[in-house]
């Protein structure tokens, strides 16, 4: 487990979606996965494989996506702000809605909490509609439950027409990569 020195006992189980489609997207996602290991009161428990997806409701090059599982003692808002600081450090700009982005970090699930503020909606309202989120999320936690929708696995079938290509295994050092003995990296 990648843990900082001040990780709390217990804490909440959190999933973060990562996406990038500008510049060196793969490097940006890998760097952000690394940045997640240094958040205060937080440990990164696992990373999914990296995936490539075609833009959905957006324009620009293909995205590189992944999902990370964290355990955190931060509040949802404090974690969102920390994620936005990582986005900013990657040069993220928001010229218009759904613009191509150097890095997008979305808070997908924060335990079973529900929030409907505009600055933070939990669970993320589109997590069950996008293969590039749901596939890596369920790779990490196949039995994962959504506080409103229940078991998420059945939602994947409806997303089969969304383009998604598995790129490579998770970064070394994550519990899931070691436990599941994933296949070696695919080329391309």
**Least distance CB 49 / ligand ADP (angstroms):** 21
Specify the stretch interacting with Mg ion by CB under 5 A; choose among 101-109, 123-131, 133-141, 153-161: 101-109
Rounded CA separation 111/131 (Å): 21
Site membership for ligand ADP, residue 106 (CB under 6 A): yes
Residue 104 annotated to the active site: yes
Binder among 69, 106, 139, 174 for Mg ion (CB under 5 A): 106
Is residue 177 a contact partner of residue 44, using CB atoms and an 8 Å limit?
Answer: no
CB of 87 to Mg ion, least distance (A): 8
Applying CB under 6 A, the site for ligand ADP has a residue count of 11
| Minimum gap (Å) between residue 16 Cβ and Mg ion | 10
- By CB under 6 A, name the one of 44, 52, 71, 124 that touches ligand ADP: 124
Q: Which residues are catalytic?
A: 92, 101, 104, 106
Q: Rule CB under 6 A: which residues touch ligand ADP?
A: 80, 94, 98, 104, 106-107, 119-122, 124
């Amino acid at each position: 487990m990648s843990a900082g020195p001040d990780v709390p006992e217990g804490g909440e189980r959190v999933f973060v979606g990562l996406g990038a489609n500008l510049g060196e997207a793969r490097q940006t996602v890998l760097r952000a996965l690394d940045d997640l290991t240094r958040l205060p009161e937080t440990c990164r428990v696992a990373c999914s494989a990296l995936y490539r997806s075609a833009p959905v409701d957006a324009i620009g090059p293909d995205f590189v996506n992944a999902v990370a599982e964290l355990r955190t003692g931060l509040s949802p808002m404090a974690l969102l702000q920390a994620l936005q600081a990582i986005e900013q450090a990657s040069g993220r700009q928001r010229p218009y809605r759904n613009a191509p982005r150097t890095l997008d970090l979305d808070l997908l699930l924060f335990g079973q909490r529900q929030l409907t503020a505009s600055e933070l909606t939990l669970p993320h309202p589109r997590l069950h509609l996008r293969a590039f989120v749901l596939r890596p999320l369920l790779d990490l936690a196949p039995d994962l439950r959504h506080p409103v929708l229940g078991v998420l696995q059945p939602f994947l079938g409806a997303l089969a027409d969304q383009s998604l290509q598995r790129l490579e295994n998770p970064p070394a050092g994550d519990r899931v990569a070691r436990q599941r003995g994933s296949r070696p990296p695919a080329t391309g």
